[in-house]
Structure 1
Amino acid sequence: MKEISVQELKEKLDNGEDFQLIDVREDFEYETSNIGGLSIPLGGILIEADKVAKDKPVVVMCRSGKRSAAAIMQLEGQGYTNLSNLQGGILAWKAEIDPELNVY
């Protein structure tokens, strides 16, 4: 499984790169704090797989990296090959990029 660090994600965002960010946390978690990704909770990732791009890189994130890894495994089982897991999830983003971010 490909992984991406929060530093690499910040570079992609700062450079305006063409990629998709998917947040697989639950709605209440996303509402507490997010960094702008498309919210598709893990339980619905296969139901809403048509919302996940196949024609550009996709970064999948969650709170710590475990649920996003599970989502990637499910999507790769459906033929996706363009997915990267955000190492450490939003907790790493808070620790390394945005200490003011509200996390639970």
Structure 2
Amino acid sequence: MGKSFFAIACAVLLIASQPVWADENPILVKQGEMFAEAREVIKQITVHDVRRMIDEGEAFTLVDVRDPEELAAGVIAYDGLVTISRGKLELLAPDKLDMNERIVVVCQTGIRGILAAHTLVKLGYTNVSNIQCGIEGWAFSDYPIRNSLGTFVMK
């Protein structure tokens, strides 16, 4: 029940990323258009898909685009993790990411992640997807998190 509730909550959050009052504010209208464009281009995958990929040894780079203070709380326990703050993505991606590798983007809830994934596609990366529900979905699914204290599962 808890996992399916969380998946539904994430879907509602993503759908609600364009506020009802957006037509009154041109900036919010543009923001909604950006999200809609990103949703059309970027493949969304679940935390369960990523867990399976890790368990089956699939090769991919996991890009966590959260800010350093968010990363301190914990990251997905995966050796192929690269951290690049969303604000520095355009500048650091060419030095940190291989254009030919599969890239999976993660953020806190999936919203920054889809925008970051769309940015990578615009930069020329071709195999990019985003984790729906982000690290929160990962943690609520009882998958391992790593931080300076070690690796643990939220229960």
Regarding TM over 0.5, the answer is yes
Name which of structure 1's ranges 86-95 and 48-57 shifts more when overlaid on structure 2: 48-57
Task: State the SS of the aligned residue for 2:114.
Answer: helix
What does residue 85 of structure 2 align with?
Answer: 41
Contact 2:108 2:135 in 1 (8 A): yes
Greater C-alpha radius of gyration: 2
Distance 1:40 1:71 in 2: 10
Normalising by the residue count of structure 2, what TM-score does the alignment of the two structures yield? 0.61
Structure 1 residue matching 2:116: 3-state secondary structure:
helix
**Partners of 2:99 and 2:124 within 8 A in 1:** no
Higher relative contact order (CA 8 A, sep 6+): 1
- The list of structure 1 runs, each at least 4 consecutive aligned residues, that deviate by more than 2 angstroms after superposition, is 97-102
Which structure 1 segments of 5+ residues have no match?
none
What does residue range 59-70 of structure 1 map to in structure 2 within 5 Å? 59-70=104-115
The code of the aligned residue for 2:117 comes to: I
Give the alignment of 1:25-104 within 5 angstroms.
25-35=66-76, 36=78, 37-50=81-94, 51-98=96-143, 100-101=153-154
Could you tell me which of 65, 69, 85 is aligned with 1:24? 65
**Which one-letter code corresponds to 1:23 in the other structure?**
D
Q: Identity percentage over the alignment? A: 34
Q: Output one character per residue of 1:46-94: Cα deviation in whole Å (capped at 9) or x when no partner.
A: 0011112221211000000011111112111111111000010001001
- Deviation (angstroms), 1:10: 0.3
Return the TM-score normalized by structure 1: 0.89
Deviation string 1:18-70 (CA, Å, 9 cap, x unpaired) is 11000000011111110142110000000011112221211000000011111
Alignment size in residue pairs? 102
Provide the alpha-carbon RMSD of the alignment: 1.7
Secondary structure (helix, strand or coil) at the match of 2:113 reads helix
Given that residues 6 and 93 in structure 1 are in contact (C-alpha distance below 8 angstroms), is that contact kept between their aligned partners in structure 2? Answer: yes
